[in-house]
């Protein structure tokens, strides 16, 4: 089956599912808002397949994510807003516009120059779209982004106009400062809201550190989560071999098995 036929079939399937007379009751009752959690979930499942280097899973998950695009486009078409072809046309136009060194006569030397030009074009696009009441360096960074990713985008926006640390040493000092301020909230008289505030500042400064080290904070934390899961699974396995289970009473054994699991990774 060729590419156009495959896309056409998928669009026809979604149209049938949303047919008011003979469609699927579940699909028919969905809205942009109710489908949104599934769209986000599918995007994360794509990320997980990539992290695991599981190409068959990646193929399937990309299909699931494509279905989400088709679903949203179909609902928009029903409301007379736009259709799938307009979605595809929009991204085609955007990619051509943002790659003048490929589709035009702009000469850019190397990936860094390409990225800088890409960011300049995006900034120009944002300026043309927003109204004066929404004008600002940080305008347009989506509120729905994961917090770590949004923090990094906000920091990058500010850095483009010179509001940034000159060197990573300053960021390290800031992380240490925020950690000390978190430690100060251990005072039992400290309001809980203040603890939330200081922990937020600490996390924001850690994202800043990751950015200056050239590390994607969101991916780094996802990788740390995977390591924790893998190590703890080994702890549970070691306990089962001894006829034990995770509990307060087996904490010392859990810590010993944890260290053993860490050594196995090196």
Q: Please tell me the predicted confidence (pLDDT) of residue 134.
A: 57
Question: Residues 95-125: pLDDT tens digits?
Answer: 999 898 889 888 888 888 888 888 788 777 7
Whether 3-98 shares its CATH topology with 130-215 is answered yes
Give the start-to-end residue ranges of the domains of the chain: 3-98, 130-215, 219-265
**Which CATH code, of 1.10.287.1080, 3.40.50.720, 2.60.120.1440, 3.30.470.20, is assigned to 3-98?**
1.10.287.1080
3 state SS of 205: helix
At which residue do the structure tokens 């190409």 appear?
55
CB atoms within 10 A of CB 4: 8
pLDDT at res. 140: 78
Q: In angstroms, rounded to a whole number, what is the distance separating the alpha carbons of residues 108 and 213? A: 25
Q: How far is CA 136 from the centre of its chain?
A: 23
Q: Residue 26's pLDDT is what?
A: 97
* Tokens coding 86: 């307009």
CA distances from 6 to 11, 35, 97 (A): 9, 23, 27
Distance CA 62, CA 47 (A): 10
| CATH tag for 130-215 (out of 3.40.50.10470, 3.30.70.260, 1.10.287.1080, 2.60.120.260) | 1.10.287.1080
Q: What is the reported pLDDT for 175?
A: 97
Q: How far apart are CA 101 and CA 90, in angstroms?
A: 19
The pLDDT tens digits of the residues spanning 58-78 come to 999 999 999 999 999 999 999
Full-model pTM: 0.68
Structural element, H or E, at residue 15: helix 3-17
Other Cβ atoms within 10 Å of 246 Cβ, number? 14
What residue ranges of the chain have pLDDT lower than 70? 1-4, 129-135
Exposure string of 176-215, with b = 16+ CB inside 10 Å and e = fewer, is eebeeebeebeeeeeeeeeeeebeebbbbbbbbbbbbeee
């Amino acid at each position: 089956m060729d590419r156009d036929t495959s896309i056409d079939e998928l669009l026809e399937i979604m149209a049938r599912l949303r047919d008011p007379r003979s469609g699927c009751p579940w699909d028919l009752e969905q809205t942009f808002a109710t489908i949104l959690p599934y769209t986000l979930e599918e995007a994360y499942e794509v990320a997980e397949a990539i992290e695991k280097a599981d190409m068959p899973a990646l193929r399937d998950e990309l299909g699931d994510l494509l279905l989400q695009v088709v679903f949203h486009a179909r609902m928009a078409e029903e409301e007379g807003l736009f259709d799938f072809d307009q979605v595809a046309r929009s991204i085609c136009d955007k990619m051509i516009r943002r790659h003048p060194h490929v589709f035009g006569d702009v000469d850019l030397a190397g990936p860094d120059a390409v990225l800088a030009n890409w960011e300049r074009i995006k900034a120009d696009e944002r300026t043309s779209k927003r109204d004066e009441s929404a004008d600002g360096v940080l305008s347009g960074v989506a509120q729905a982004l994961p917090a770590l990713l949004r923090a990094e985008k906000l920091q990058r926006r500010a850095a483009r106009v010179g509001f940034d640390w000159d060197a990573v040493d300053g960021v390290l000092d800031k992380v240490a400062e925020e950690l000390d301020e978190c430690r100060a909230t251990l005072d039992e008289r400290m309001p809980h809201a203040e603890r939330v505030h200081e922990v937020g500042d600490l996390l924001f400064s850690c994202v800043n550190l990751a950015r200056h080290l050239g590390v994607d904070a969101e991916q780094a934390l996802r990788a740390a989560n995977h390591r924790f899961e893998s190590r703890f699974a080994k702890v549970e396995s070691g306990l089962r071999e001894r006829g034990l289970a995770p509990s307060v009473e087996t904490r010392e054994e859990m810590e010993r098995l944890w260290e053993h699991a860490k050594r196995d990774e090196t």
